[in-house]
Amino acid sequence: MMRTQKQTDSSLIKGYIEGNEAFLEILIKRHQQRLYSFIYSKIKDKDLTEDIFQDTFIKVIRTLKKGNYNEEGKFLPWVMRISHNLVIDYFRKNNRMPKFKNTDDFNIFSVLGDDSLNAEKQLIQDQIYDDVRDLVNGLPDEQKEVLIMRMYKDMSFKEISENTGVSINTALGRMRYALINMRKLIEKNKIILVNQ
């Protein structure tokens, strides 16, 4: 008989997809305490936590059954991301979510700084970084160039102007449009850039 406790998440997922239903139970048991604690830390309600925990694994099962799972070797971060999104949905439905402010001084990167992250928050933080990277990559090249120079390389608009051969005003304009476009993408795709 196979010693399932020693199996990796990936091999258990593969076995489940191939028809061994028991492998899913092992996966759930392996991660339930961590996931339950994570959800409860956000919701602070046992019944709701149980509901969201169940809904998380319903989504996991649907995704696995459809063959859409491709987070090779990253099962727990993926499951926690699903549960995080369900928590956000709950807050949204109950109007307990801080509203997204569409202001000029909005700084997408201000949500990324938190040195005292626990393991669960770190998983979400990593996903936030991935989401931001995807947003940046979705910008037109000239806007992306200015935004990367300003936010990642900490260059002044004068330095950006000198490096790109455009006026400071043009560089400022491109930065402004980059942030506007990122805001639109965030709202359109309902991306959550908060670490609650």
CB 106 within 8 A of CB 184: no
Check which CATH number belongs to the domain holding 62 and give it.
Answer: 1.10.1740.10
Q: Cβ contacts of residue 27 below 8 Å, gap of 6+?
A: 9, 12, 13, 16, 75
Q: Are 113 and 78 in the same domain?
A: no
Percentage, residues of the chain above pLDDT 70: 74
Any domain includes 24: yes
| Residue-range definition of the domain harbouring residue 76 | 4-93
Structure confidence at residue 101 as a pLDDT band (50, 70, 90): very low
| Domain end (from 93, 123, 139) | 93
Any domain includes 103: no
| Domain end (from 46, 62, 93) | 93
Q: Cβ contacts of residue 74 below 8 Å, gap of 6+?
A: none
CB 3 within 8 A of CB 45: no
| Domain end (from 40, 59, 93) | 93
Q: Determine the pLDDT at residue 80.
A: 87
Residue of 111, 112, 91, 93 lying closest to 101 (CA atoms): 111
Whether residue 107 has pLDDT greater than 80 = no
- Angstrom distance (rounded) from CA 175 to CA 73: 37
The pTM assigned to this predicted structure is 0.49
Any domain includes 176: yes
Any domain includes 99: no
- Angstrom distance (rounded) from CA 114 to CA 131: 17
Any domain includes 100: no
- Angstrom distance (rounded) from CA 56 to CA 85: 9
Check which CATH number belongs to the domain holding 115 and give it.
Answer: 1.10.10.10
Q: Determine the pLDDT at residue 153.
A: 79
Total tally of structural domains belonging to the chain: 2
With both helix axes pointing from N to C terminus, report the angle between 9-17 and 46-66 in degrees, rounded to the nearest 10.
60
